[in-house]
Structure formats: structure tokens, C-alpha cells
Amino acid sequence: MLWRWIQFALDAGAWTLAILMAVVLRYELTEQTLAPNGVVVFSLLAIGSQALVGFSMALYQGRHSFGSFEEARLLIAVTIIVATILVLLSTFLGFTLQIPRSTGVIAFPFAALFMAATRYVKRMFVESKQKPGANAQQALIYGAGFLGTNLVTRMMQDPASPYFPAGFVDDDPAKKHLRVSSVQVLGTGEDLPELIRRTRATVLILAFAAADSAFIRGVSDRVAGLGVKVLVLPPLKDMLGGGDHSVTDFREVDVEDLIGRRPVDIKVEEIAGYITGKRVLVTGAGGSIGSELCRQIHPFAPAELIMVDHDETALQATQISMTGRGLLDGRDTVLASIRDAGSLAEVFRERRPEVVFHAAALKHAPLLQQYPAEAWKTNVLGTLNVLRAAEAVGVEAFVNISTDKAAAPTTVLGHSKRVAERLTAWMAGRTGRRYVSVRFGNVMGSRGSMLPLFSEQIRNGGPVTVTHPEVTRFFMTIPEACQLVIQAGAIGSGGEVLILDMGEPVRILDVAQRMIAMSGKDIEIVYTGLRPAEKLHEDLVDPDVVDARPLHPKISHAASAGIAPDQLDYDRWLAACERSEEAMLEAQVQEETELSHEPVAGPERITSPERISGAARVTGTEPSRRAGTP
């Protein structure tokens, strides 16, 4: 409360000084005609007017941040009103007080300047006390837009901030000399190495609402070897959406940022009406995809969400992530295996789901290559069990989650998921309902995927194992994959396979090199050779299938030939898997022969082509000796 009266006293002094200067200037810097009593009375009238207008307009009530633009705007408005009052008073009382009628007009800019100056001095004093301490790291802020300027303001007002903004970096020429809280734009992204050396910055913060992976890669490459840690901010929607994120929630750039893709806007909210108010069942609800599906389905308010899995611990983790409790005592969690047809049918009869998302599957290609019978029992017969249970209770929409390895399949995993797609198409024709499959590539961050494996290998000091220097894969995020799955249930026609455009494939060696560079360690990269039946490059659509996109430019629709359950034959299926493996082994031998004549370039230490070939022989197994063959 005291500071308000102090500020008013300073404003009163500003008016007194401004009126005195106005009278002196009006009389051309002479004092002969100066009327001291008139000046005193006129100053008192100005002070009274300032008190009346200032307090009535809440100038002294702390409504705006001290020294802010909003307070400055209010101050100018108050000063204009007070100056108008003084002009009117001088018009009627000027002769009596011997004060020129122009005094109020001349005094106005001086008074405004003096009052603004006192506020600015106080703001500079306060900010000087609030700056980050001496132990704060020097940081460059890339981006002088909304996020960047707000970030710098927060930093400069937080004594506990671990970072001190040494300067802005911005590619907009119009911002070349911009200053925010005394922090200047020092240059563009091309100048980063020089700016880092000049400011001795150890941190570079990317202050962008949504920086794409190509931009982040470019920045990371530009500062590589300079000892700078690159940080990114959460998306703007997370900071403004009332969540737990704020403008100071930095995180380090991870490999998902470097190879990640911008999620396709498929407007799930507009098409997920088929979920609202319906009984929805998700198989494999404890897995990476199944659990995220449950989390995305839950906000659409289904009448009932039934989470089915044979792994009780995984079910509990999914329940905790959604409700914050993991008692496993409600009707939302069901412990059952899709291999058990009787138990599954009983669950469907009791709960009578209307929409089913089938995410349960075995997915580790090398292990299934050794144990094909397990892939048959789960991915083929298990899917058939779910389809039959769904048919029995009249499920309206059924979405089978498949993989890009089902396109022109070569592995046991791909062949098993291809049969699952065909069974789904057969059931669509049999029921006339919306039974579809969804196909996508590698999911970043899923259990057992490449990125966690590389991270663990790097944490343990290496080596990082890559099958082949030229192997590529498609990648997508878990939320994006689940959005596609939900969309498929609405826009897919019975028997179709829906495929998301996953952009350009990513070279696995590039991923490994970037992860090693980010770790700052000297890690060896070892090539182990392509595994049996493994492709060098994955396909999304079969070569003879037309890539039609009738409803969304990023979603392809392909027809799938159905197969009836009575046509299933394990021996024929296994023979097809073995033929694919033999063909791929021949291709691998040819690839290794070509590789042996070309030196592999790169900064990492790698093994020779002979070791690559040897590793392939060690990991490969003869089909006749494969375990699990019935």
C-alpha cells in the first residue's frame, strides 16, 4: 500500500516540475514575469486532478504489472485527462493566477516523460535484483517470437533460473536489432557457431511452437562438437491448454525429434462419434498400441471401455495411466487370452461390445522366425477367435491392427499378419459390417522397438548393433498410429486395409549415429547382417495394389482378398514362410557380395564385410531345424 502513495508523490513532483518548466519555456527562459504564487496554486490544482483521475482509473491500485506496456497506456490516458483539466482551468483562472493558458499543453509531455521515467527506473532496479544468479548457464534463445520473448522475460525475472539468456537468434531480418528485457537479437541460425563462441553459451533453446524434424536436425548438425546442449519447448497447445506444461518446461532434443514426423491432422474428434455411447472392447490393452488406444478412446465417452489382455501387470499399468488407480477390481479390465476361444466367447457374450479394436499380437520378428507355431496360434488363430466372438454378438465395427510387414510378406510375422488381414476381410464379407485392417510401420517408443534398444546399448557403453548400413524403415508416433486406428473404424469399408502415408523411410544407420552423437560418447557401431527373411527396405502397399486415397490425402485404401477359416493350413503357410526366407537369404548373400567390394564410409568404427557375413550366418537358422515347428 505504501508504494502506491510513494508513486503518487513522485507523480505529483513530476507535475510540479513540468509546470515550472512550462512557464519558464513560455516566457522564453526568463524569470521576470514569473508569478511564484500562481505556479504553486496551479501545481496544487494539477496534483489534485492527478489524484482524482489517477485513483478513479485505478492507476495506483496495482491492476497492471509495474512498468508494463498496459500501465504505460493507462498513464498516458490519465495524463491527457489531467492536462485537459489544466487547460480548462488556465482558461478561466489564468489571468487571476498569472499563468499562461498554454501551460497545461506545454507541461503535458514533460509530466508524462517524468512519470514514465520514475516507473522505468524502478522496473530496471527490480529486474536487476531478479536476474538469474552467477551460476546460471549462458543460453541462446533461437526464435524471438511469442515463445522466445516470453521465455526471456520469465528467465530475467527468476533469480533461480538455471539459464541466463545471452542473446536471441532469429532468421527474420526485421528482428535484427530487437531487444527484449535488454536481451538482443545477435544473428541468424547461420551464425550459430560464431555466436556460441562469442557468448560462451552452453545451452541452445529452440523457442518454436512446432519445430519440424528437418529444422531440428539442421540446428543439431550446426552446433555439433561445440559443447552445446540443445533444448526444445513443449508445443504451444500444451502450454496454453491448462496442462502441466509451461514456457519453462524445457527438455533435451531426443531422437524422435530428429527423425520424427509431423502428425497427420486426421480430425479424430469429427469422426469418432461411432465410439461415443458405445461399448468398446480393446484386445492387447496392456501393450504399447493397445494402451494408447484406450487412453485416446476414453475421452470420447464410450458407454463402456473393456480392456482385455492376458498380462495382468500390463493391464494394471494401463488402468493407472487412465484413472490414477490400479486396483484391477472393476469391470474395465478383463484377464483373458485371445488363444482361448471359449473364454473369449464368454467375455463377448457377457459384455456384448459394439466396437472392437484388435491390438493383441506377437510382433518380434526374429523370435517368431524361430517359433512360427507361436505366431500361428496368436496372430492367426487368435485373430480368428476374436472375429468369431465378434460375429456372434453382432459387433458393428471391427478394426484389426496390422503391420507394414504384411505387404509382400517375407517374415513369419508378416505372413501371420497377412493371414489376419485376410480373415478380417472374409468376416467383413460374411457379416456385411465394417470390419477393416490398419497397417503402419515401426512405432517410435513402443516396447521392444529399435529406439529403446539403441538407448540401452548406448547407456551400457555399446556397441550399437545395426543389421545393415543401408537398411531403412518407416516410423510413426504411437499417438498418430492410434489416431489412424480410430479413424479407420469410421472411414474404412468392410474388407479394406487402410495405410497411413508415413513419409520417407529413415536409414537406421543415421538414427544410430545421431543417437550416439547426442550422447557425447564414443560408441562403436557393429553390423550384424540382415536377419533371416528380413527386408532391406519395407513396403507399405503390395506392388500390384493401386494406392487409392478417396477420403484423405494421407490415408490409402487397399482391398484385401479374404480367406475362409476352412482354407487355413499350417503346413502350407509354413512352407510359404520358408520359401520367403530362402529367397531373402539368397538376396542377402548377393547384397553382402556387393558390399564386400565397396568400403563403408563413416566416422564410426564398424566391422568388416567378412564379419557382417559371419554374423548373418551365426544368427540364421535352417528352416528344418527351427524350434516350434509342429
How far apart, in whole angstroms, are the C-alpha atoms of residue 360 and residue 496?
Answer: 19
The verdict on whether 521 is a catalytic residue reads no
Please identify which residue in the block is written with the cell numbers 505366431: 375
Helix residue ranges per DSSP H, 364-497: 365-370, 372-375, 383-392, 412-431, 450-459, 478-491
Burial tier of 43 (Cβ tally within 10 Å: 0-12, 13-18, 19+): buried
Q: Helices 288-297 and 312-323: crossing angle, nearest 10°?
A: 30
Q: Which of 131, 175, 377, 405 does the annotation list as catalytic?
A: 405
Map residue 358 onto helix, strand or coil. Answer: strand
Closest CA to 188 of 143, 133, 237: 143
Per the CB < 8 A criterion, the answer to whether 307 and 322 are in contact is: no
> b/e for 505-541, b at 16 or more Cβ within 10 A?
bbbbbebbbbbbbbeeeebebbbbbbbbbbbeebbbb
185-194 burial by CB neighbour count: b if 16+ within 10 A, else e?
bbbbbeebee
In angstroms, what CA-CA distances link 430 with 259, 402, 435, 478? 42, 20, 10, 32
Burial pattern 252-283, b for ≥16 Cβ within 10 A else e, equals ebbbebbbbbeebebebeebbebbeebbbbbb
Joined together, the cell numbers standing for residue 301 give: 465417452
d(CA 501, CA 481) in angstroms, rounded, equals 11
DSSP letters for 261-294: -PPP---HHHHGGGTTTSEEEEETTTSHHHHHHH
Which of the residues are catalytic?
Answer: 405
